Amino acid sequence: MNCGEGIDTRLIEELFINLDPIQAGGRLSADAMKAVLAYGDGYSVCDNCEKPFRLDCIKKPPLARFHDELAKFLNMDIARLVPGARRGFQAVADTVVGKGDPVLLTAFSHYTEFLSVEQAGGVPHEVPANDANIITADAVASRIEEVTRSAGKTPALLYVEEVDYQYGNLHPVQDIARVAHQYDIPVLCNGAYTIGIMPVDGKDIGADFLVGSGHKSMAAPAPSGVLATTSEWADTLFRTTQVKGDITGRTFGVKEVEMMGCTLMGVTSMGMMASFPHVRERVKQYDQHLSRCNRIVDALCSIEGTQVMSEYPRKHPLTRMNTTGSFDKAAKTNKKKGFFLISALRERGITGIIAGSTKVWKFNPYGITEEQARYVADMFLEIAREEGLPVKSG
Amino acid sequence: MSRRAAEAVFQGLFLLSDIRGILRETAPLHQLSAEQKANTAKSLEKLEKQISILREELVS
């Protein structure tokens, strides 16, 4: 079934339980689907744009209120919509990082965090993870000392991921921010995997800048995200244009330089806003989502030779597994080789694990129901038994 | 201008979106609970009403 010439209709979410590690939190709510239908046209939110002509000031649809509510939701002073978390990193780096400035990132920083430093002319330095794949405040303190000695100045910015994309581990951002602030280093907390998934309190964790992803974790269309900051940084980060055309004399009102004026002018902001009430509710039920994840992890770990590589019990549903001693052994004798696992899962209506992976792979069951979690756990065990892998009873 | 027809189109699409949501919640077996069945039945009933409006407004 096509939805346009040569464009297949995507039915993945309707036909399968999708465990894709980056797709789970971005699945649209039914209200977001409705908003997408009604606001799909290009500049659809601009029908009632009035002075001062800026996205965050539009009252109908209620984008101005949405911006205020987003800031409150994150316990920050001000928030802006951005086209993906990466554009938030870019705006912050461009504001606080100068040419040649050292910048601290972590062993788990996303490539777009690095690119934002590169674009601003900064020099990236990584904070290593410990043996448990956690970034500690002590490691941050050591790196600040080392980098300050070698660069001759303190880092201009510290990026820290609240939950990382490799292990889905929860890092002690509050402790890390406290250390950074002792050296007067502003902290950008990357909440791409947490904002919209679990409760996040920006001021409590000490974030100067808080960045989230709409399409990764806020049940919104791509590209969407949020950039929030404190009143201390608001005027700098969201500074308005001062430029003037030298022939025409034109000026550009209150457009914000780092936002390039307006950001999400249609379906993305509307999808994000329509999902927001659901997102606000679902973070309150985070424990239920975690318990569903732990149910699946427990089932997997009952298959002999299987290990969970992420911290356990899970504090976030994005999880890295090692099945070298179980499913990978089965792959050696199965005629489908490494593709047997995804094939067996798809036959059972489950998808989202990288095709061909039977050693180390990630999954994310966020947002599935209790019944679906039970089903996924049962199906992993069924596949293991079918392959003759020993399963511990329990 | 038929505002009634335009609204019926969107109302119909929204009702179908609710059903789409139920497909997602119950994938892959699509075994609906009693409550989900009742909600789906209600959506379908309302959808038929919207289709009737469209017939009245646009083709009769």
**pLDDT tens column, A352-374:** 999 999 999 999 999 999 999 99
Q: What is the pLDDT of residue A263?
A: 97
CB spacing of B17 vs A33 below 8 angstroms? yes
B7 CB neighbours in chain A (<8 A) are none
Residue A6 within any structural domain of the chain = no
> How far apart, in Å, are the Cα atoms of B42 and each of A258, B16, B36?
48, 11, 10
**Final residue of a structural domain among A255, A283, A311:** A283
**Final residue of a structural domain among A260, A283, A306:** A283
CB spacing of B17 vs A34 below 8 angstroms? yes
Q: What is the pLDDT of residue A2?
A: 96
Count Cβ atoms within 10 A of the Cβ of residue A26 and give its class: 0-12 exposed, 13-18 middle, 19 or more buried: buried
Residue A299 within any structural domain of the chain = yes
pLDDT in tens, A223-266: 999 999 999 999 999 999 999 999 999 999 999 999 999 999 99
Q: Does residue A204 share a domain with residue A176? A: yes
* Residue (of A88, A84, A46) closest to A258 by Cα position: A88
Q: Does residue A315 share a domain with residue A235? A: no
Q: Does residue A313 share a domain with residue A277? A: no
Q: What is the pLDDT of residue A146?
A: 98
Q: Does residue A262 share a domain with residue A145? A: yes
Residue A320 within any structural domain of the chain = yes
User: Which CATH number covers residue A49?
Assistant: 3.40.640.10
Q: Does residue A326 share a domain with residue A271? A: no
Q: Does residue A55 share a domain with residue A171? A: yes
B24 CB neighbours in chain A (<8 A) are 13-14, 27
Q: What is the pLDDT of residue B1?
A: 79
Q: How confident is the model at residue A393 (pLDDT cuts 50, 70, 90)?
A: confident
Q: Does residue A353 share a domain with residue A278? A: no
Peptide bond into A155 cis (omega under 30): no
Q: What's the pTM?
A: 0.97
pLDDT surpassing 80 at residue A134:
yes
Q: Does residue A234 share a domain with residue A302? A: no
Q: What is the pLDDT of residue A359?
A: 98
| Closest approach of A369 to chain B, Cα-based (Å) | 7
The mean pLDDT of A178-201, rounded to a whole number, is: 98
The mean pLDDT of A10-33, rounded to a whole number, is: 98
User: Which CATH number covers residue A297?
Assistant: 3.90.1150.10
The mean pLDDT of A134-141, rounded to a whole number, is: 98
Residue A76 within any structural domain of the chain = yes
B26 CB neighbours in chain A (<8 A) are 369, 371
Q: Which domain holds residue A76?
A: 28-283
Q: Closest chain A residue to B6 measured between Cα atoms?
A: A38
pLDDT surpassing 90 at residue A150:
yes
Q: Does B35 touch chain A (CB under 8 A)?
A: no
Residue A182 within any structural domain of the chain = yes
The mean pLDDT of A160-176, rounded to a whole number, is: 98
Q: What is the pLDDT of residue B60?
A: 87
Q: Does A278 touch chain B (CB under 8 A)?
A: no
CB spacing of B28 vs A369 below 8 angstroms? no
Q: Does residue A274 share a domain with residue A215? A: yes
Is residue A26 a contact partner of residue A218, using CB atoms and an 8 Å limit? yes
Q: How confident is the model at residue A160 (pLDDT cuts 50, 70, 90)?
A: very high
Q: What is the pLDDT of residue A325?
A: 98
**Final residue of a structural domain among A254, A283, A312:** A283
Q: What is the pLDDT of residue A303?
A: 98
Q: Does residue A113 share a domain with residue A17? A: no
Q: Does residue A299 share a domain with residue A259? A: no
Q: Closest chain A residue to B26 measured between Cα atoms?
A: A372
Q: Does B14 touch chain A (CB under 8 A)?
A: yes
Q: Does A346 touch chain B (CB under 8 A)?
A: no
| Closest approach of A11 to chain B, Cα-based (Å) | 10
A369 CB neighbours in chain B (<8 A) are 25-26
pLDDT surpassing 90 at residue A105:
yes
CB spacing of A13 vs B24 below 8 angstroms? yes
pLDDT in tens, B3-55: 999 999 999 999 999 999 999 999 999 999 999 999 999 999 999 999 999 99
Residue A7 within any structural domain of the chain = no
Q: The complex's ipTM? A: 0.97
CB spacing of B29 vs A375 below 8 angstroms? yes
Residue A394 within any structural domain of the chain = no
Q: What is the pLDDT of residue B20?
A: 98
Q: Does residue A101 share a domain with residue A148? A: yes
How many domains does chain A fold into? 2
Residue A44 within any structural domain of the chain = yes
CB spacing of A37 vs B18 below 8 angstroms? no
**A–B: how many Cβ contacts below 8 A?**
41
Helix/strand/coil (H/E/C) assignment for every residue in chain A = CEEECCEECCCHHHHCEECCCCCHHHCCCHHHHHHHHHCCCCCHHHCCCCCCCCHHHCCCCCHHHHHHHHHHHCCCCEEEEECCHHHHHHHHHHHHCCCCCEEEEECCCCHHHHHHHHHHCCEEEEECCCCCCCCCHHHHHHHHHHHHHHHCCCCCEEEEECECCCCCCECCHHHHHHHHHHCCCCEEEECCCCECCECCCHHHHCCCEEEEEHHHHCCCCCCCEEEEECHHHHHHHCCECCCCCCCCCCCCCCCECCCCCCCCCCHHHHHHHHHHHHHHHHHHHHHHHHHHHHHHHHHHHCECCCEECCCCCCCCCCEEEECCCCHHHHHHHCCCHHHHHHHHHHHCCEECCCCCCCCEEEECCCCCCHHHHHHHHHHHHHHHHHCCCCECCC
Task: Using a pLDDT cut of 90, give the percent of chain A over it.
Answer: 99
A371 CB neighbours in chain B (<8 A) are 26
Q: What is the pLDDT of residue A92?
A: 99
Helix/strand/coil (H/E/C) assignment for every residue in A286-320 = HHHHHHHHHHHHHHHHCECCCEECCCCCCCCCCEE
| Closest approach of A301 to chain B, Cα-based (Å) | 24
| Closest approach of B14 to chain A, Cα-based (Å) | 6
